[in-house]
């Protein structure tokens, strides 16, 4: 009976990590859509979901600590719980960064962008794919998928450098648009950081599965 309850709690922990990843994915998606379309209502609803992320992350943290304190797990179960504890931190921060992108929409209000948004939505698509693949690698205990997912971060970094250089060019041409340029620069940086957090998740999945610490950034 005790063992069955422990296994149920462990499965619920895994399910909540997956659920948290799904919520964060939606936040990132809607934040960038709100920025691209200058949709203030969508931006505000995205910002309001931050509490949902914080609450679930807190529940996950409590569950991890409870399992460690009361069940004294060993070997791979202990690594799984420790990994979940770290992953929820990265997911919570990814949610914060997504909310930061939505806040940029509210700062800009309806001021036109200095350029059509092409690369920033592309960055969003890639980091969301990384997030979903990283969470899937956790659920399936697939270290190979975690390795492959982390490799996508090079593409995100390249797009960020491209956006940054292009925005600097716009600033040279029209310094009066500094505020708008800075907002897009921050948005691209937030997405780049989300990619970094996805890599952190991958590193922790690899540790969970193999017991080896790796640095993929």
HEC profile for 155-170? HHHHHHHHHHHHHHHH
Residues of the chain with pLDDT under 50: none
Residue 92 domain-assigned?
yes
Residue 176 has a pLDDT of 82
Tokens at 161, concatenated: 């450098």
Its pTM stands at 0.94
Q: Is 210 exposed, middle or buried (0-12, 13-18, 19+ CB in 10 A)?
A: middle
What is the domain-level CATH number for residue 123? 1.20.58.220
Cβ-contact 28, 131 below 8 angstroms: yes
Task: Report pLDDT for 110.
Answer: 78
- Express as a percent the part of the chain with pLDDT over 70: 99
156 close to 126: Cβ distance less than 8 angstroms: yes
Look at residue 29 and tell me if it is in a domain. Answer: yes
Cα separation, 90 vs 146, whole angstroms? 15
Structural domain includes residue 217: no
Range of the domain at 11: 2-210
DSSP 160-206: HHHHHHHHHHHHHH-GGGHHHHHHHHHHHHHHHHHHHHHHHHHHHHH
Give the pLDDT confidence score for residue 3 in this predicted structure. Answer: 66
Q: How many domains does the chain contain in total?
A: 1
Q: Quote the pLDDT of residue 74.
A: 80
Asked whether residue 216 is domain-assigned, the answer is: no
Model pLDDT, residue 113:
87
What DSSP character marks residue 124?
H
Structural domain includes residue 186: yes
Distance CA 3, CA 82 (A): 19
Q: Give a yes or no: residue 87 inside a domain.
A: yes
Structure tokens at 193: 């950081």
Q: What is the pLDDT of residues 117-146, one digit of tens each?
A: 999 999 999 999 999 999 999 999 999 999
Written as six digits, the tokens of 45 are 């609803």
């Amino acid at each position: 009976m005790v063992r069955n309850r422990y296994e149920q709690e462990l499965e619920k922990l895994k399910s909540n990590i997956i659920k948290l990843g799904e919520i964060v994915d939606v936040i990132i998606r809607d934040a960038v859509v709100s920025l691209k379309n200058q949709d203030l209502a969508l931006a505000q609803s995205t910002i309001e979901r931050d509490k949902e992320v914080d609450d679930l992350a807190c529940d996950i943290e409590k569950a991890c600590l409870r399992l460690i304190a009361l069940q004294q797990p060993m070997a791979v179960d202990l690594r799984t719980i420790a990994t979940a504890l770290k992953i929820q931190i990265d997911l919570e921060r990814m949610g914060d960064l997504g909310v930061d992108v939505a806040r940029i929409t509210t700062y800009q209000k309806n001021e036109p962008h200095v350029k059509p948004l092409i690369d920033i939505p592309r960055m969003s698509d890639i980091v969301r794919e990384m997030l979903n693949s990283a969470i899937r690698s956790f659920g399936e205990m697939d270290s190979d998928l975690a390795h492959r997912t982390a490799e996508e971060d090079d593409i995100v970094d390249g797009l960020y450098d491209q956006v940054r250089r292009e925005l600097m060019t716009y600033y040279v041409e029209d310094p009066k648009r500094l505020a708008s340029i800075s907002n897009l620069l921050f948005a691209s940086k937030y997405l780049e950081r989300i990619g970094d957090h996805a890599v952190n998740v991958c590193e922790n999945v690899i540790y969970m599965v193999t017991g080896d610490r790796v640095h993929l950034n």
